[in-house]
Amino acid sequence: MKHPFQIVAVNNAGDLLCTATKNHIQVFKISSGERIGQWTDEADNTESIKEKILKEQERQKILKQQELEEKAAKAAEEGTPESSEEPPKKKKKKSKNKNNDGEPKIPTPGPGAPTIYNYIRTLKFSRNGKYLIGTTDSDKSVVIFEIDLSNNENILKLIKRQPFPKRPSSITTSYDDSEILLGDKFGDVYSTKVDTQEARVVNSEAEPILGHVSMLTDVLIGKKNDEQFIFTADRDEHIKISKFPQSFIVKHWLFGHEQFVSKLLIPSWNEDLLISGGGDDYIFLWDWSKESNQLLDKFNISEIVEPYINESHLAPSRFQNENNDLQETCISDIITIPGLPNIIAVLVEATNVVFLLKLESNKISLDKIIELDSKIISITSSNNQIIASVESEDNLLRSIDINTKTVSNELSESFKKITENSFVEIPSKDELYPLYPVFQLRKRSEH
Amino acid sequence: RAHSNPFSDHKLEYPRSPDQMNWSKFYPKFVDETTGKLSKQVTIADIGCGYGGLMIDLSPAFPNNLILGMEIRVQVTNFVEDRIIALRQQHFKEDKFQNINVLRGNAMKFLPNFFQKSQLEKMFFCFPDPHFKQRKHKARIITNTLLSEYAYVLKEGGIIYTITDVKDLHDWMVKHLDEHPLFERLDENFEKNDECVKIMFNSTEEGKKVERNKGDKFFKCYKRLPDHPKL
């Protein structure tokens, strides 16, 4: 069977569909379904792990050496003869550390450990549409592709591959597309230039430009009076706004979420607004440009989601209530639609509906619920449609016409072609990569 | 336990935002009887206060400031709580030690939940966990990214005090504070004349332990600069 697309993204012109499946990126022509670009992450992460371990061992050695030298110097200074007790102690220590000096051991998961999936976790077009940017798990890299439409073989030209110390979890570009900001699993934000360097594999020693002490879930750049700001969201309910590029100046925090934040959006039709969602029952609407009273509205989605909840939304047994009916939903995507101002499309993870919400006079209201025949994994939009990747066997994509706000069959032929042309096959459903990973962000504090 | 992982999701209580923090129960003697509200804000924070020795010595030196210790280890926090209750009872008549208290919290994650922008005048980082391993360096309490958050809660001219017996950690803290555009190192003249430096050098339990072991104590203080960056 064909593996469903984990991420879909349409370019600005609305004619290309980029997809991420496992460690593969594919680009299709929407009109014909032809595959015109592809890239597979073939990096092996054992080498980079080895390198890191060696580096740390080396550092520890140097530190120990320094410590010994300092002690020796001190002893010499004080004129005390080396005590007879110390040397045997040191010898003991050395023999203990012996096994550390050899070939670095690559940690391998023990039996019963959860499967490790290496896949493309983020995929985004630059604002000008010239570049496609993704992140890899294998070597924790940002990969930047130039879209080269003149190349008939493959329009994806890898221009840069920049590894980072921790796994990237979100990306955005500066307004002029010259810089990429990347948020990682450890809460740090790094910046890297979009330049046409040869693809290279080096470990970055760069310092983060800002950080949280919590996994970052989304990073955005917004603008107010020609001043740019970075928005960062994390697993600890925080949304922080810092200046850019003076990222050491924190503008303020947006307080209100009671669960992790998974998604931030600044709508193109009003850049003073910020919409956020995550593990809460609410979608939050903020005026981030204000200094205080930034929360404009909270829209309760739990009621409208209720009919579409399925067994996958039940809380894990360890955290379940007495009646075994505790359900947990989270927002996995919030997008704007170029042809529909004042409307946002919201995806609640592992449901088969897209909610269109209307923003009017700083209030959010329900515009339309669009139900599909299969569970939705990822959504993207162009001028005239919302494209959804779904968990289905025959056709991996669905289209929603934004004029009629209904499911459209117009493109079903080319979508079938795209499905056929996708080369990522799996023998059975058991081999599926994670399609709905957002719910794992929920905090389970135990002590 | 001597250590606590600042990254793990402890069961912590923290307010949704600084507006929602109820300080009255921490400093009951400072509650204005007519409004029922606290007459002062916390302005001095001891981050990772350990057994509370610093606060206890700061208390009489700054009788008009509210001083808060934050500590991530439950048992240690409970100990300090009991210690402060006992001190308050002992000095009931003089109303002493009413301006200090402790709460269990993860300052690295939730400091902005407790304090408003520019609320603090002084922040102390005394004998923090050195986290020797390179891969644990992000767990250190002073990093360039956390300094930006400390700068947010500190007012202009506010002071960060650091002290440690670990040379490697001292060098690390100095390096990051020196490099941060919103902090400026204070000179020896300040160190000689500042009352807090004296208290910090002599009062904490860790500091006394270092003294007993005849170890070195390294310290530095930094001033919060205005928001425009160094040129």
In chain B the domains, ranked by start, together with CATH numbers, are 23-224 (3.40.50.150)
Q: Is B176 on the interface with A (CB under 8 A)?
A: no
Q: What average pLDDT does range A159-185 have in this prediction? A: 93
Joined together, the tokens standing for residue B176 give: 């990051």
Half-sphere exposure of A106 (CA within 13 A, CB side): 9
Domain boundaries, chain A: 7-41+120-441, 46-100
Q: How far apart are CA A16 and CA A20, in angstroms?
A: 13
Contacts 24+ apart (CB under 8 A), A301-309: A301/A329, A301/A331, A301/A346, A301/A348, A301/A355, A302/A329, A304/A355, A304/A366, A304/A369, A305/A329, A305/A348, A305/A351, A305/A353, A308/A348, A308/A351, A308/A352, A308/A353, A308/A371, A309/A351
User: What pLDDT does A89 receive?
Assistant: 45
Helix (H) or strand (E) holding A412: helix A412-421
Q: What average pLDDT does range A117-131 have in this prediction? A: 94
Q: Point out the residues of B that are catalytic.
A: 129
Q: What average pLDDT does range A264-277 have in this prediction? A: 96
Q: Is the pLDDT of residue A309 over 90?
A: yes
CA distance A358 to chain B (A): 27
Q: What average pLDDT does range B115-137 have in this prediction? A: 91
Q: List, for residues A394-406, the tens digit of each pLDDT value.
A: 899 999 999 999 9
pLDDT: which is higher, A290 or B156: B156
User: What pLDDT does A265 receive?
Assistant: 98
A347's CB contacts (< 8 A; 6+ apart) are A331, A332, A333, A334, A354, A355, A376, A378, A379
Tokens 């209720």 locate to A306
CA distance A148 to chain B (A): 38
Task: Assign A77 a pLDDT band (cuts: 50, 70, 90).
Answer: confident
Q: Is B144 on the interface with A (CB under 8 A)?
A: yes
Contacts 24+ apart (CB under 8 A), A119-122: A119/A6, A119/A20, A119/A21, A119/A22, A119/A23, A119/A433, A119/A434, A120/A6, A120/A7, A120/A20, A120/A21, A120/A22, A120/A23, A120/A24, A120/A25, A120/A41, A121/A167, A121/A168, A121/A169, A122/A7, A122/A168, A122/A169, A122/A170, A122/A171
Task: Assign A88 a pLDDT band (cuts: 50, 70, 90).
Answer: very low
Task: Assign A101 a pLDDT band (cuts: 50, 70, 90).
Answer: low
Interface of A with B in 309-368 (CB under 8 A): none
Q: Is the pLDDT of residue A38 over 90?
A: yes
The vertex-A203 CA angle with A137 and A129, nearest 5°, equals 60
Given A186, A207, A447, which is nearest B144 (Cβ)? Answer: A207
What percent of chain A is predicted at pLDDT more than 70?
90
Residues of chain B contacting residue A247, judged by C-beta atoms under 8 Å apart: 148
Q: List, for residues A329-341, the tens digit of each pLDDT value.
A: 999 999 999 989 9
Q: Quick check: A248 and B152 CB within 8 A?
A: no
Residues of chain B contacting residue A447, judged by C-beta atoms under 8 Å apart: 10-11
User: What pLDDT does B4 receive?
Assistant: 73
User: What pLDDT does A98 receive?
Assistant: 45
Q: Is the pLDDT of residue B12 over 50?
A: yes
Given B7, B113, B148, which is nearest A210 (Cβ)? Answer: B148
pLDDT: which is higher, A440 or A91: A440
Task: Assign A283 a pLDDT band (cuts: 50, 70, 90).
Answer: very high
ipTM: 0.93
Q: Is the peptide bond before A245 cis (omega within 30 degrees of 0)?
A: yes
Q: What average pLDDT does range B2-13 have in this prediction? A: 74
Hey, of B8, B13, B72, B144, which one would you mutate to test binding to chain A, going by the most A CBs within 10 A of its CB? B144
Task: Assign A11 a pLDDT band (cuts: 50, 70, 90).
Answer: very high
Average pLDDT in chain B? 92
Q: What average pLDDT does range A302-331 have in this prediction? A: 91
User: What pLDDT does A64 receive?
Assistant: 86
Task: Assign A205 a pLDDT band (cuts: 50, 70, 90).
Answer: low
Residues of chain A contacting residue B145, judged by C-beta atoms under 8 Å apart: 187-188, 208, 210-212
User: What pLDDT does A109 receive?
Assistant: 73
Nearest-10 Cα torsion for A41, A47, A49, A54: -160
User: What pLDDT does A204 receive?
Assistant: 52
Q: Quick check: B147 and A446 CB within 8 A?
A: no
Q: Which fold does the domain A7-41+120-441 belong to in CATH?
A: Methylamine Dehydrogenase; Chain H (2.130.10)
Q: Is B184 on the interface with A (CB under 8 A)?
A: no
What percent of chain A is predicted at pLDDT more than 90?
70
Q: Is B154 on the interface with A (CB under 8 A)?
A: no
Task: Assign B69 a pLDDT band (cuts: 50, 70, 90).
Answer: very high
Q: Quick check: A445 and B149 CB within 8 A?
A: no
**Nearest by Cα to A126 from A27, A26, A9, A245:** A9
Q: Is B70 on the interface with A (CB under 8 A)?
A: no
User: What pLDDT does A394 receive?
Assistant: 84
Q: Is B118 on the interface with A (CB under 8 A)?
A: no
Q: List, for residues B150-209, the tens digit of each pLDDT value.
A: 999 999 999 999 999 999 999 999 999 999 999 999 999 999 999 999 999 988 888 888
User: What pLDDT does B231 receive?
Assistant: 44
